[in-house]
Structure 1
């Protein structure tokens, strides 16, 4: 047993359905064998009541969506989690709430994918054009579709990337079909991929690629046929077999994804969002052989990943060791930082906490985002953290620096 794991405490919150689907109790048992205490979190109570936590694993997607729709109970529960995170910057969150919100919005996640692709400059990657439809079909909308480079047929999806409705999609073949589309939604050019989808399940540095059925090939360009409405979850089930997933017209390039490309995509998304548990839906363009990312999912089901629990435990071990290699477990933290490491540790903790991992990649030369300028409000946030910590630590007051980290920062974010 790795001695630094003994006495560590991992809290988790998953829906009953998610826990049963994953058989999460087996993971809890595996952790206990390694000396890690696992605590199921009750969000109806303050998280402080559960005692100190080194790591929190969660899938709060339903609650976050409900809170964003002003459900008062969901707002309270999500805020309770956020309050704990703000008060305990040393606790590792799998995964940060701002990153989850990005993944819940297909528009934001697609923008991120295209941004990453521009930075990676890998000709083997080329994801489809997309745009958001906020109004019903009109001449202006049709003109905008052309300007965005979309071509028929295209896929129509809900903007929200979670929940039962998020799997309800349509293949649009003509301008006439657009009348059946109900905004707001996201449309994305359809790429023929020989009816094969590759689901990439990521756990930290590890990933597993699972092949699934997908939509069959369709002729390029407008077609005189009705829109096809379907449920993507049903189409991509391992046992799925229907006319929509027929492979009778397979043509052109038919090959599995490149391991190099998948590894780089996974790493880039991890760094850009600060996430560890996510899925990437990848297809291979049957004309060019290029890889296209068509969706990203927060904390997916990990079906077909036999080593998921081992991968998750290894990742937890890794982040605990890298974040606090010489710190005791939660509940045994010193009241002040050792003087010889105070400046470095406080600044590292403060910057990581304040930026939720979003800015760290900007200062890593090997990062695909290293050349992208951060938003002004992010720079303001970083400067506020840096100046405040520098002021406190210059007087040799580590305790004051730690208290400073718990203060609410000013926010100039245009989204707040």
Structure 2
């Protein structure tokens, strides 16, 4: 078959490599449609090497050719934006339902809006013996900066207030945030945006990576706590880049144990399970903070599709195991139906 312009003769059970040794065909062919930045961060040599050993072949999808003319693929892995790509992928999936698409474009769309993104968490009302999970009090502003002050008063939000772009489109700008300290500064913000009450969290957030049923948690430095005097003495808007992405890992830092303690594993497993089902996604991460001084109160502040797995310790093993598990599940379903 032809893969992205290269001919691979896997129509035989085995073929010879350059040294003349027999090589088994790949168990799994994964076509990927990713930005060049994502390819560089995700398809690292260690991942590709481990994948080859496990019989997984990653093949670049040529965006200049019809998708149906490429492959065949067992899995399509993608993170591209735009209506055109979404339509291409949906048309392809309709014609090739046997291919696993990671993840369905309609489900990913849900995370492109911060209002709908966190609504699923708010609807959970997750509270058990391991802790409580919610979202910060928030407000959506779609237009007219002059109306923000009145809307904030009406909603009862207190300062400081975090402002984030409403739409998440994969650009660096969509992950920037601002911190507003007074009412006057609110009119300087540019809708559409989401306003969230800032929650003191010890300057640390927990990045919870989800790969299928696997969960991995890392600590990242975040915005420092803000006390009442800082609110009174500061004015204006302070703008920040993508905080959790740019920040260094806090896993090896000398932190107060009350700040550094990871959220309870059973709580994260329940949260991940609920969100996998509600979102219809298998590849995402959850940014969680713990309210400073309250050990069992957690807030989800962001959810991202197909995050920077290259920064997740041991992602190569976790990801390749996940891909193989998808095929194993598919074969089981086929056997039970036959």
Which 10-residue stretch deviates more, 206-215 or 222-231?
222-231
Other-structure match for 1:56: 76
1:35 deviates by 2.5
Q: Find the residue that maps to 1:52 and give its secondary structure.
A: coil
Other-structure match for 1:341: 337
Q: Find the residue that maps to 1:324 and give its secondary structure.
A: helix
Q: Is the 8 A contact 1:47 1:80 kept in 2?
A: yes
- TM-score when scaled to structure 1? 0.66
State the distance in 2 between where 1:59 and 1:253 align.
33
Q: Which has the higher helix share?
A: 1
Q: Is the 8 A contact 2:41 2:310 kept in 1?
A: no
Unaligned runs of 5+ residues in structure 2 are 1-24
1:148 deviates by 3.5
1:208 deviates by 1.4
1:37 deviates by 3.5
Q: Find the residue that maps to 2:139 and give its secondary structure.
A: strand
State the distance in 2 between where 1:173 and 1:97 align.
38
In structure 1, which of residues 252, 261, 269 is the aligned counterpart of residue 267 of structure 2?
Answer: 261
State the distance in 1 between where 2:27 and 2:245 align.
44
Other-structure match for 2:19: none
In structure 2, which of residues 276, 287, 298 is the aligned counterpart of residue 281 of structure 1?
Answer: 287
Other-structure match for 1:145: 152
1:74-111 Cα deviation digits (max 9, x unpaired): x2x43222211111122111111112111121111011
Q: Is the 8 A contact 2:208 2:287 kept in 1?
A: yes
Q: Find the residue that maps to 1:86 and give its secondary structure.
A: helix
Other-structure match for 2:142: 134
Q: Find the residue that maps to 1:186 and give its secondary structure.
A: strand
Unaligned runs of 5+ residues in structure 1 are 68-74, 241-246, 329-339, 343-416
State the distance in 1 between where 2:198 and 2:58 align.
44
The count of aligned residue pairs is: 305
Q: Find the residue that maps to 2:134 and give its secondary structure.
A: coil
Other-structure match for 2:304: 297
Q: Is the 8 A contact 1:283 1:291 kept in 2?
A: yes
1:357-376 equivalences in 2 (<5 Å): none
Structure 1 residues 220 and 320, CA, compared in 2 at 3 Å: closer, same or farther? farther
Q: Find the residue that maps to 1:223 and give its secondary structure.
A: helix
Q: CA RMSD in A?
A: 2.8
1:211-290 equivalences in 2 (<5 Å): 211-220=219-228, 223-226=232-235, 227-233=237-243, 236-238=246-248, 255-289=261-295, 290=297
1:20-69 Cα deviation digits (max 9, x unpaired): 12234543333332223432211221122223222111111xx32xx3xx
Q: Find the residue that maps to 1:84 and give its secondary structure.
A: helix
1:156 deviates by 0.3
Q: Is the 8 A contact 1:213 1:236 kept in 2?
A: no
Q: Find the residue that maps to 2:62 and give its secondary structure.
A: coil
Q: Is the 8 A contact 2:286 2:303 kept in 1?
A: yes
Structure 1 residues 39 and 286, CA, compared in 2 at 3 Å: closer, same or farther? same
Structure 1 residues 184 and 201, CA, compared in 2 at 3 Å: closer, same or farther? same
Which 10-residue stretch deviates more, 154-163 or 37-46?
37-46
State the distance in 1 between where 2:156 and 2:267 align.
24
State the distance in 1 between where 2:239 and 2:320 align.
40
Other-structure match for 1:106: 114
Q: Find the residue that maps to 2:30 and give its secondary structure.
A: strand
Other-structure match for 2:200: 192
Other-structure match for 2:321: 314
1:90 counterpart = 2:98: yes
Structure 1 residues 236 and 36, CA, compared in 2 at 3 Å: closer, same or farther? closer
State the distance in 2 between where 1:217 and 1:153 align.
11
1:164 deviates by 0.9
1:33 counterpart = 2:53: yes
State the distance in 2 between where 1:251 and 1:199 align.
17
Structure 1 residue runs of 4+, over 4 Å off?
250-254
1:46 counterpart = 2:72: no
Q: Is the 8 A contact 2:115 2:194 kept in 1?
A: yes
State the distance in 2 between where 1:305 and 1:251 align.
22
In structure 2, which of residues 34, 38, 56 is the aligned counterpart of residue 18 of structure 1?
Answer: 38
State the distance in 2 between where 1:131 and 1:89 align.
39
